[in-house]
Amino acid sequence: MKKREWLIVILPLLATWFVDRVTKMWAADLKQILSFGPLHFVLHHNHGAMLGLFSDLPSVLRIVSLSTGGAFLLCTYALIQYLLPIKSLTLRSGLSILIGGIIGNVTDRILWGYVVDFIVIGTPSLSSPAFNMADALQWVGYGLIVYAIIREGELLWPENNVRKQYWVNMSFQLKYCFMLMAVGLSLTVISMVFSYTYLRVTIQELVGNNQFLMNKFLVPFIITFSVICVAFCAILFAVGRLISHRIAGPLYAFERFLDEALAGVAKPLKLRTGDEFRHLEELAEQINGRLNEIKRERTVNVVEFSETSEDKKKGSAE
C-alpha cells in the first residue's frame, strides 16, 4: 500500500487509544452516578479482562498475563497488517480500531493494575456490565472486520490465488520455520531468565528468603511466561510457513516455467498476490518474447535455406 493508505490504517488505532484515554481521565474524577435516561456513568475498577473476566486470578498472574497478552496482540496485529494479501481499508481499519481498544485497556493495567470502567446501560432491575469506550469501540472494530470478510471474502481467499500445495518446498520451508522458532525461543528464554532472576532477587530483598511468597509469585510467573513462549513459537512457525511459501512458491513456479519453455511450451508466468519476486513475471515475459523471436528467426532461416536449395537444384538441372 501507499504511505497515505498506511496513515489511514494506523490513524484509527491512535484515535481509538486517544479517545479511550481522555474519557477515562474524565471518569477518574467521578464522585457520584451521572444518569441520562438509560445511560449511566459510574466509576468502576475492573481487575479482570473485558466485562470482568479472570478477575479471580492471583494479581501477579492476572496483571502480568493480561498486559503481556495485549503487547502480544499488538505484535500479531502488525504481522497481520503486513501479511494481508489485499489493501482493504475497511478490514485494516477494523483491525486498527480493535487493537486500539485492547491497547487502551492494556495501558490501564500497566499504569494502575486495573481497568477503568464507567459506562452502564439499562435500568436498576436490568443493566449491562460496566464498560468503557475501549470496550465499545472494540465492537465497532469487530463489526468492520466481519463486514469486510463478508463483502470482500473472494478477494481474501480467491480460488485462483491459492496454491494447491501446502508445502511447495518442504525442506526449505521447514528450515525457515525452525530458524524463526529458534530465534523466538532464544529471545524468550533470555527474557525469562532475566525477568525471573530480577523478580526473585527483588522479593528476597524485600521479604527475605520466604519460600511461601517465593512460590506465590514465582510459580505463576513461570507458568504465564511458558504459555506465552509456546504461543509465540507457534505463531512464529505459522508466520515462517507463510513467508517461506511466498518465497518458495515463485521460485517453484519460475522453475516450472523454464522447464516448459525449454520443452517448447510458451505459457505466461502468473504469481499469487503477496508473493515475493514479482519481477519474475516481467522476466518470464521477456524470455517468452525472446524465444518467439528465435523461433521466427529459425523459421525465416529454414525458408531461406529451402529456397536456396531449390534454386541450386534448378541450376544443376539446367
pLDDT (mean) for 217-222: 79
The answer to whether residue 52 scores a pLDDT higher than 80 is no
- What's the mean pLDDT when you consider all of the chain? 80
Q: Decide which of 53 and 275 is more confident.
A: 275
Grid cell, residue 156, equals 481474501
CA dist., res. 33 & res. 271, Å (int): 60
Q: CA neighbours within 13 Å on the CB side: how many for 98?
A: 20
CB 269, CB 284: distance < 8 Å: yes
For the annotated catalytic residues, the residue numbers are 117, 135
Q: Which region among 67-71, 118-122, 263-267, 280-284 has the lowest average model confidence (pLDDT)?
A: 67-71
Confirm if 128 and 98 have CB atoms less than 8 A apart: no
Q: Considering only 25-29, 67-71, 176-180, which range has the smallest mean pLDDT?
A: 67-71
What pLDDT is recorded for position 163?
59
Q: Which helix (H) or strand (E) holds 115?
A: strand 115-121
Q: CB–CB of 177/241 below 8 Å?
A: yes
pLDDT of 97 reads 92
Report residue 273's pLDDT band, with 50, 70 and 90 as the boundaries.
low
At residue 178 the predicted structure's pLDDT band, cuts being 50, 70 and 90, is very high
pLDDT for res 51:
46
| pLDDT beyond 90 at 18 | yes
